[in-house]
Amino acid sequence: MKINKEINRRRTFGIVSHPDAGKTTLTEKLLLFGGAIQEAGAVKNNKIKKTATSDFMEIERQRGISVATSVLGFEYKNIKINILDTPGHKDFAEDTFRTLTAVDSVIVVIDVAKGVEEQTEKLVKVCRMRNIPIIVFINKMDREGKDAFGLLDEIEQKLGLHVTPLSFPIGMGYDFKGIYNIWEKNVNLFTGDPKKDIEETIQVSDLSTDEIDQLIGTDSADTLREELELAQGVYPEFDIDQYKRGELQPVFFGSALNNFGVRELLDCFIEIAPPPRPKQSDIREIRPEEDKFTGFVFKIHANMDPRHRDRLAFVKVVSGKFERNKPYLHVRSNKNLKFSSPNAFFAERKEIVDEMFPGDIVGLHDTGTFKIGDTLTEGEILQYKGIPNFSPEHFRYINNADPMKSKQLNKGIEQLMDEGVAQLFTLELNNRKIIGTVGALQYEVIQYRLEHEYGAKCSYENINVHKACWIEPKDPKSEEFKEFKRVKAKFLAHDKSDQLVFLADSEFSLQMTQQKYPNITFHFTSEF
C-alpha cells in the first residue's frame, strides 16, 4: 500500500545541542548531501546569532527569516528527511521542548573540547522522558579536546545515556588522522579539506593486518587496535531495538565544518532511525498507517508582516493522509476547517502541496484559530497528549499602559500565549495578569509585538515568584485543600486553560507548603 511505503521512507528528527557545538554547521552539511542546497552558508545566515541577545529587534528580524528553517525537508537515497529546527538559545528553550514532541528521533551534537554543556543536559532530559531514540555526534575532532573514553564517560554520567561508539577517532586536533567506522568497518582519512563533498573511505576488513599500519602509521594503528579492543570490552554491541526504545545511544565522531564523518552519520541514520511512530492520544494510541488523518499543532509562527496578522501553524501528520481542501475537525472548537493552501517545507522554500503523509509537517495559514497542542482529525474526538508547559523562570505583572486599548491588549496577549511565546497566569485574588517566560528577552519581544501587531501598549512590574507549580489535591473537597486555598490565596492563580497554579515565592516556602499539605501534589509541568 502506498501509505505504508511513504511512512517507511520518512525520518523526522531534530538536532539538539548547546549553542555553538555545531548544530547549524551539521544541518547545513546534511542538506548539502541531500543536494537540497548548493553551497554552505544558506542555513547559517538564518541563524539567530548570539550577538543578537541584547538586540531583540535583530532577533525579531531573524525570527521572521527563521520560518524558512523551521522545517528542512529533503530527499537522500530515496528517504524523505525532515529536520525540525530546535533553537539552542536558552530563551527559546520552550520552543525546542515543544518541537521535541513532533520528532521521531534526535541527533545530539557535542563539542569535543567543551563536552556536555548545560542546554544539552536539559534537552536530553526531555528526550529521555519521552524515550526518543538518540544518536550522539561528537563534533570538532579537528580541534584539541577531551579524550574519547573520558568523553563517553561524561556523556553517560551527565546525560544518563547508555552509549556505544559506532565510529572511533584516530587521534585528535593537530594529530587527527581520521575515524575508524565500526558500523561499516572502514577507515576514513582526514584531509582537512572542507570542500571535498564526499570523503573516500577505505575498506579495512581485518584490523590485525598491516593494511591499517600503511594507512595511518604503526603507532596510530597500534593505539587504534588497543582502543577498539578496550571499547569492545567496555561498551555493549549495538542493538537497533534497544536504540529505538531509547535504551542505547550510538556515538559518531567527526568534524561538521570539515564535512568529515557526516556522510557516515547520515548513512547510518537513515538505516537505523525510526520512521514515524505511533502516538498516544487521550483515548487511544494512534498508528501512522491508520486510514484516517490525524495531526497536532506543535508550533505557531507569527507572520512578520504587520499588515497581515496571519500566522503559520505547524502540524505534524500522525496518521493517514492529509489532503488539501478536505474538511478536518478542529477538535478543541468542534469546527470543521478546510485548507486551500497547505505548505510543505523544503530546504529553502515552502510549496503548496495536495497531500502529506505521517512524519511530514504541514504549514497551515491561521488567523487565530490555532493554539499549540491543538488536534485535527477526520471527525474522531481525541486530543494528543504530550505538550506540557514547564514552570517559567521569570515572572512579571503586565499592566495596560493605554486604557483606550484594553481590548487590543487582551486580544494580543491571548494570541501571543496561544503561540507559546510565554505563559499567562491570572491571580485568583484580584485577576491581575502575570506573564511567565523562560528568558528575560521575551518581555521585550511581547511588548514590541503588542505594540506593532495589535496597537496596544503594556508595562511590566516586578513580582517575586520563584516557581509555578500545578496543583492537584487528592480530594478537592477536603478540609486540607480548603485551608490551603484560604491560607495561600495570595499565591494562587489560573493558567490559560484554567488549571490551578501555586506561585511559590521561594524554594523554602515551596518546601514548607509541600510538607504542610501532604495530600496536595505540586507538579512542575502542566501535564500530569
Nearer residue to ligand G4P within complex by CB, 63 or 433: 63
The residue from 13, 14, 16, 25 that contacts ligand G4P (CB under 6 A) is 25
> Per CB under 6 A, which region of 167-175, 238-246, 253-261, 273-281 contacts ligand G4P?
253-261
Amino acid residing at 101 = T
> Per CB under 6 A, which region of 14-22, 122-130, 153-161, 442-450 contacts ligand G4P?
14-22
CB 220 within 8 A of CB 169: no
Amino acid residing at 280 = Q
Nearer residue to ligand G4P within complex by CB, 170 or 376: 170
Binding flag, residue 122, ligand G4P (CB under 6 A): no
Q: How many degrees, rounded to 5, is the angle at CA 95 between CA 91 and CA 96?
A: 95
Nearer residue to ligand G4P within complex by CB, 140 or 488: 140
Q: All 3 cell numbers of residue 451?
A: 505594540
Please, what is the minimum distance in Å from the beta carbon of residue 114 to ligand G4P? 10
> Per CB under 6 A, which region of 13-21, 173-181, 268-276, 427-435 contacts ligand G4P?
13-21
CA dihedral 376, 379, 383, 387 (to 10 degrees): -10
Pairing of strands 249-253, 134-139: parallel
Q: Is 302 helix (H, G, I), strand (E, B) or coil?
A: strand
Task: Indicate the annotated binding residues for GTP.
Answer: 17-24, 85-89, 139-142
The residue from 140, 244, 321, 449 that contacts ligand G4P (CB under 6 A) is 140
Binding flag, residue 21, ligand G4P (CB under 6 A): yes
Buried b (16+ CB within 10 A) or exposed e, 58-75: ebbebbeebbbbbbbbbe
The residue from 7, 134, 257, 398 that contacts ligand G4P (CB under 6 A) is 257
Please, what is the minimum distance in Å from the beta carbon of residue 97 to ligand G4P? 17
Please, what is the minimum distance in Å from the beta carbon of residue 103 to ligand G4P? 17
Binding flag, residue 88, ligand G4P (CB under 6 A): yes
The residue from 12, 24, 167, 343 that contacts ligand G4P (CB under 6 A) is 24
Got the DSSP string for 456-516? --EEEEE----EEEEEEES-TTSHHHHHHHHHTGGGEEE-TT--EEEEESSHHHHHHHHHH
Please, what is the minimum distance in Å from the beta carbon of residue 49 to ligand G4P? 9
Nearer residue to ligand G4P within complex by CB, 256 or 434: 256
The residue from 101, 139, 389, 391 that contacts ligand G4P (CB under 6 A) is 139
Instruction: Give the whole-angstrom CA distance, residue 428 versus residue 204.
Output: 69
Q: What part of residues 27-46 is at the interface with ligand G4P (CB under 6 A)?
A: 44
Binding flag, residue 64, ligand G4P (CB under 6 A): no
Total residues binding ligand G4P (CB under 6 A):
18
Give 45's DSSP letter. Answer: G
Binding flag, residue 17, ligand G4P (CB under 6 A): yes
Buried b (16+ CB within 10 A) or exposed e, 263-290: bbbbbbbeebbbbbbebebeeeebebbb
Task: Indicate the annotated binding residues.
Answer: 17-24, 85-89, 139-142
Cα–chain center distance at 496: 23
Instruction: Give the whole-angstrom CA distance, residue 170 versus residue 253.
Output: 10
Nearest residue to 298 (alpha-carbon basis) of 478, 94, 500: 94
Torsion angles phi and psi, residue 456, rounded to 5 = -115, 155
Binding flag, residue 442, ligand G4P (CB under 6 A): no
Please, what is the minimum distance in Å from the beta carbon of residue 126 to ligand G4P? 17
Please, what is the minimum distance in Å from the beta carbon of residue 96 to ligand G4P? 12
Please, what is the minimum distance in Å from the beta carbon of residue 14 to ligand G4P? 13
Q: How many degrees, rounded to 5, is the angle at CA 364 between CA 422 and CA 442?
A: 15
Q: Which residue has the cell 521521531?
A: 104
Nearer residue to ligand G4P within complex by CB, 199 or 360: 199
Q: Beta-carbon neighbour count of residue 52 at 10 Å?
A: 18
Q: Which residue has the cell 574519547?
A: 148
Instruction: Give the whole-angstrom CA distance, residue 491 versus residue 505.
Output: 8
Q: Which residue has the cell 588497543?
A: 226
Please, what is the minimum distance in Å from the beta carbon of residue 168 to ligand G4P? 17
The residue from 143, 287, 309, 411 that contacts ligand G4P (CB under 6 A) is 143
Residues that bind ligand G4P (CB under 6 A): 17, 19-25, 44, 88, 139-140, 142-143, 255-258
